[in-house]
Amino acid sequence: MYFTKFNTRFCEIILAGDEKGLAHLHLNTGEGSRQFEIQESWEFKPEFFEDAQAQILEYLGGKRETFDIPLNPAGTTFQKKVWEQLRTIPYNSLASYGEIARKLGNPKASRAVGAANGKNPIPLIIPCHRVVGANGSLTGFAHGLAIKEKLIALEQGLAC
């Protein structure tokens, strides 16, 4: 597994992955519940992530709406189905946990969708920040609500 780190106007970002695709994107905000550790066996290899880093910086600069990066997130079958559904939420759009559950064919699974959202190892690219509560409230985000709010504002073209 390779990794790199780089700074953005929002926070430091850590990427980890291999030839199969990006496995982790960590938003190092110092907030939220997500803990992330770089494993000793991983190799620091920034050049491996040049394209991914460029696309992420374009997105955070308001110049990119979609990503073309091979992904390889580890998760359960259900989590992967949720993450696939999240990737269908268009830029500058929001969906509720219940809407995602309904699209997966299980309208009572909104809490399970929320749990899968919280385990998403590749935020931004798998846009879990676009999922909100049924009443439109900004509910949980593993990296803190402040950055979730900034990402939504970015996509809405608001100053952030």
Q: Could you list the active site residues?
A: 128
Is there a contact between 23 and 1 (Cβ–Cβ < 8 Å)?
Answer: yes
What residues form DSSP beta bridges with 27? 13
Q: Give the separation between CA 38 and CA 31, rounded to whole angstroms.
A: 18
Coil/strand/helix, residue 5: strand
DSSP H or E segment with residue 23: strand 21-28
Which residue is listed with tokens 């749990």?
A: 115
Coil/strand/helix, residue 117: helix
Task: Give the pair of three-digit tokens for residue 107.
Answer: 């309208």
User: Count of H helices and E strands in the chain?
Assistant: 5, 6
DSSP H or E segment with residue 147: helix 145-155
